[in-house]
Amino acid sequence: MCGCLAIVQAFNGNLVWAAYLVGIAAVLDFFDGFAARLLKVSSAIGKDLDSLADMVTFGVVPGVVMFQMIRMSNVWDLPMDSSSGFGALWEGYNMNDPWSYSAFLIPVFSALRLAKFNNDTRQSDSFIGVPTPANAILICSLPLILNLRNGYVDENSNMELAMVILNKKILIGLVILMSYLLIAELPLIALKFKNFGWKGNEVRFVFLILALVLLSVFQYMGIPFIILLYVLLSVINNLFLGKKSEN
């Protein structure tokens, strides 16, 4: 439901609310497995439903958000109307810009990522490749940083930052990079808690604590750093475990 509502908001130009809905879905996705085990209603169907819901909310939604942002990037080649902050982004759209359709590589590779996850026995306690929620959160953090509401960039946003984020080449490059990382043979820690005890969840708790610190200090700007932290901690964790197993 969050994904469906987010798609409507994104196509209406309110990318901020689309991002909020993805955030709500991420919280629900974080607790659903724990809730199922607590209520003793876990099943094979639940695993399939989880992936189907992920495909909509964390696959299609970031694709639509990126589609809209790439279309919005065309406006930066036009004179800005100073009376409306950075100008209405809906004005000056190249509605037939073929590059905007590259955004739908994200849903395609998200589907492949989720299918691999459901059939890869190596991913029972860890992930291989960036999880779709992490990818969606990263992409949907961009409208939050710029506060993209109803086709307008918030007037309090930094002009230089907006010009970087809404650069077509950077956006398309991000699409290609994240599409690859979704299916890359890159082992990453899973943030699914089977219990909330410290033992066995040390890396997860460290990540969550550092993530809260980054959010409190940098607010929405901290989200890309949190995703980067997630990847770095996973790499460090894998190296540590690898050395431990060798010994």
Query: Tens digit of pLDDT for each residue in 131-157?
Result: 999 999 999 999 998 887 666 666 666
Is residue 230 a part of any domain in this protein? no
**Torsion sign (Cα): 34, 37, 38, 41:** positive
CB 223 within 8 A of CB 138: yes
- Count the domains in the chain: 1
Is residue 247 a part of any domain in this protein? no
Is residue 89 a part of any domain in this protein? yes
If pLDDT is split at 50, 70 and 90, which confidence band does 182 have?
very high
Mean model confidence pLDDT for the chain: 82
Phi/psi at 126 (5° precision): -155, 170
Phi/psi at 90 (5° precision): -70, -30
- DSSP, collapsed to helix, strand or coil, labels residue 98 as helix
Q: Which range marks the domain in which residue 175 is found? A: 2-194
- DSSP, collapsed to helix, strand or coil, labels residue 186 as coil
Query: Tens digit of pLDDT for each residue in 45-96?
Result: 888 888 999 999 999 999 999 999 998 887 654 444 444 444 455 454 556 6
pTM of the model: 0.83
Closest to 148 in 3D by CA, of 12, 22, 5 = 12
Position 247 scores a pLDDT of 42
Strand (E) or helix (H) holding 170: helix 168-183
Is residue 39 a part of any domain in this protein? yes
Position 246 scores a pLDDT of 42
Is residue 51 a part of any domain in this protein? yes
Is residue 242 a part of any domain in this protein? no
Is residue 223 a part of any domain in this protein? no
Strand (E) or helix (H) holding 189: strand 187-189
Is residue 219 a part of any domain in this protein? no
Helix axes 222-246, 132-146, angle to 10 degrees: 150
User: Distance (Å, rounded) from C-alpha 127 to C-alpha 243?
Assistant: 19
**Torsion sign (Cα): 180, 182, 187, 191:** positive
- DSSP, collapsed to helix, strand or coil, labels residue 88 as strand
